[in-house]
With several copies, the nearest count.
Chain A
Amino acid sequence: MNKYTKRKLIEFSISTTSVLTIFIVWYVVAEMKIFPEYFIPAPASVWEAFKEIALTGYRGGTLLQHLGDSLFRVISGFILACFIAIPLGMFMGFNWKIKAVFDPIVEFYRPLPPLAYYTILVIWLGIENESKITLLFLAAFPPLSISAMSAVAAVPMERIHTARSLGAGRLQIFTHVIFPSCLPGIFTGMRVSIGFTYTTLVSSEIVAATSGIGWMVLDAGKFLRGDVMFMGIFVMGITGIILDRLIRIAEKIIIPWKGKG
């Protein structure tokens, strides 16, 4: 067993212990019944709810269908935002005139709560996926554009100077020097963004949804189904971790040179 696998093993066992501790605390709190069962349901009933909903579904959709609907919304919004926010953020960092155009707009809507402007989106885009994905897109946008913009500001001047003296044009410098230099910052932004987008999922499924894991949690909350809520929260947490891991893995593969520049 080499050093690397050994470390991975220790890492895994520490993480497991840490998660287990939380489970035990939860179990004990639930057992003590300080709070009614629908607020802090016992692990066992959450597991029951999971089995039930995974098999027979919740209000017209199986767990997988709900999750699939939600993931489709989250990932569509996120990818859309990546394609628009990252280049735009980089342009804003690269050219102060472009920044002057978009900065006030992004900065203005950024602190706005989705709940506050969702109604306006519904007016424009209706109650179907369009408005939901747009809302998630808007949530995903700022962390991406801000990280991209900051990353541009931190690119060492020599890299750009070298490229210019090698005959690269402005666009080429942008795509071949600035963009790769910014990748570490962009990946950080993507990790923050996907988490943020996911947390906005419930807001987006507040309106006119009858499917989606976020809607399920909300709906269960309305009827005090603590077991279903907890179950839904777990599923969201775990899928969130998976999405994040995917980005981390992509980061490892795409920028092995991070920190070595």
Chain B
Amino acid sequence: GQSESSDLPGRVVIGYQAIPNGQIISKDFGWFEETAGVPVEWVQVNSGSELNTGLAAGSIDIGLSGSSGIAAGIANQVPFDVIWVHDIIGDNEALVVKEDSGITDIQSLAGKKIAVPFGATTHYHLLAALELEGVDPETVQIFDMQPPDALAAWHRGDIDGSFIWEPTLAKMLESGGEVLIYSRKLSENGYLTGDITVARKGFAEKYPDLVVKYIASEIKAVDFYNNDPEAAAEAVSRQFDIPQAEALRQMKSLVLLTGQDQLTSAYMGTSDSIGNLASVLKATADFLVSQNTIKSAPDVDVFKAALHPEYIEQALEQ
């Protein structure tokens, strides 16, 4: 509920996910609250589609999702602006297979059972890995499973592997698993995945200042992490009720980008020259179309138009 009359909304609703990145650090310290001047409410979202729904309903103002969800959102004209890249997925997502499954490389996945949460970044990466190696996805038995269920199936031996994230990834590795490929490797090959923050169009147009302030708090969080990872992990461990060492381990597997990093051509780019992220998202969307999961993907210009590095630029100026 934003009041139309004043210059400030009644409150700001921020969607977060259970990912140990800068957002959680800033949430823990209340940095956005300090500057926002309005009440801030944090809600947890679990998937890209949930975030898209919340945005379309007008009940989430700023929120984060994996890049597949964002690509699907842009393709479906969900009214949002891309404002920030939280992290690039590195070693926190990987394709794990059982040591005794006989799988040695991507090629030998044919005929095996692999679990992956459909629609998630790992789903995209699994299909990308298959494509990269020229394996027909039809030959692999791909199951739709959320991480806990995948882990359960793993223990029973119902599946041979899973493209999954932390903390499930670690648990699988502990119990007879080995990594076939990390997401980092696929990102390097052009199949970039990451967690991306968007702002609802209506919100961003009306309260650009708040968006800038939010970005500022994110920038502060990344800097804080880079300066003092231990303290940052401490904050995350408070938020997620997990041990500090575990938080640190998970954070290290992510690639957190500073404000300046984001403005490079590899990612957001600048408002004059939009970065490569647009093409990455376009490629993701095209890929989803080819998998018949979304109907169609628009032109790359639409993706470019969705990227708004100007907020980062303004935040850095301050």
Direct contact of A and B (CB under 8 A): yes
Q: With A123-B53, A209-B144, A224-B167 in contact, is A39–B72 under 8 Å at CB?
A: no
The total of Cβ contacts below 8 Å across the A-B interface reads: 157
A208:B143 contact, CB within 8 angstroms:
yes
Stretch at the interface among A22-30, A80-88, A191-199, A214-222: A214-222
Minimum CB distance partner of B168 in chain A: A224
Residue A35, interface by CB 8 Å: yes
Tell whether, in the assembled complex, residue A222 and residue B43 are in contact, meaning their CB atoms are under 8 Å apart.
Answer: no
Shortest Cβ distance from A53 into chain B, in angstroms? 9
List the interface of chain A (C-beta within 8 A of B). Answer: 35-39, 58-59, 118-120, 122-128, 206-210, 215, 219, 221-225, 228
Contact B56–A222 (Cβ < 8 Å): no
Q: Are B159 and A221 neighbours in the complex by a CB distance under 8 Å?
A: no
Q: Are A124's CB and B171's CB within 8 A? A: no
Closest to B157 in A: A126
Smallest CB separation, A47 vs chain B (Å): 15
Q: Which residue of B lies closest to A122 (CB)?
A: B152
Instruction: Determine whether the beta carbon of B145 is less than 8 Å from that of A127.
Output: yes
Q: Which residues of A contact B153 (CB under 8 A)?
A: 122, 126-127, 208
Which of A124, A128, A210 sits near B44, CB closer than 8 Å? A210
- A-B residue pairs, 6 tightest by C-beta: A222-B119, A126-B59, A208-B43, A223-B293, A208-B143, A122-B152
Assuming the contacts A208-B15, A219-B44, asked whether A39 and B171 have C-beta atoms less than 8 A apart, the reply is no
Nearest A-chain residue to B293, judged by Cβ: A223
Interface string of B25-65 (1 = CB under 8 A from A): 00000000000000000111111111011101111100000
Max count, chain B CB within 10 A of own CB: residue among A35, A119, A125, A208 = A208
Q: How many residues of B contact A (CB 8 A)?
A: 57
Contact of A222 among B18, B76, B158 (CB under 8 A): B18
Q: Are B155 and A219 in contact (CB under 8 A)?
A: no
**A126 to B, closest residue via Cβ:** B59
Main secondary structure of the interface of B (DSSP, over half): mixed
Say whether B241 contacts A208, CB under 8 Å. Answer: no
- Identify A119's interface contact among B53, B171, B240, B242, CB under 8 A: B53
B147 at the interface (CB under 8 A from A): yes
Tell me the minimal C-beta distance from A256 to chain B in angstroms.
47
Is there contact, CB below 8 Å, between A225 and B152?
A: no
With known contacts A122-B59, A222-B47, A224-B73, A59–B155 Cβ distance under 8 A: no
CA distance A149 to B53 in the complex (A): 36
* B299, CB-defined interface residue at 8 Å: no
Most buried by B among A125, A225, A228: A225
A36 touches B241 (CB 8 A): no
| Given A38-B151, A207-B53, A222-B148, 9 additional A-B pairs, CB 8 A | A36-B79, A123-B53, A126-B58, A127-B59, A206-B46, A208-B50, A215-B144, A224-B73, A224-B294
Could you write out 11 A-B pairs with CB less than 8 Å apart?
A: A36-B76, A36-B77, A119-B152, A123-B155, A124-B57, A206-B146, A208-B59, A219-B18, A222-B118, A222-B119, A224-B294
Q: How far is the CB of B86 from chain A (nearest CB, A)?
A: 18
Binary per-residue interface labels of chain B (238-254) against chain A in the complex, 1 for a CB within 8 Å, 0 otherwise: 01111000000000000
Task: Output the nearest chain A residue to B292 by Cβ-Cβ distance.
Answer: A59
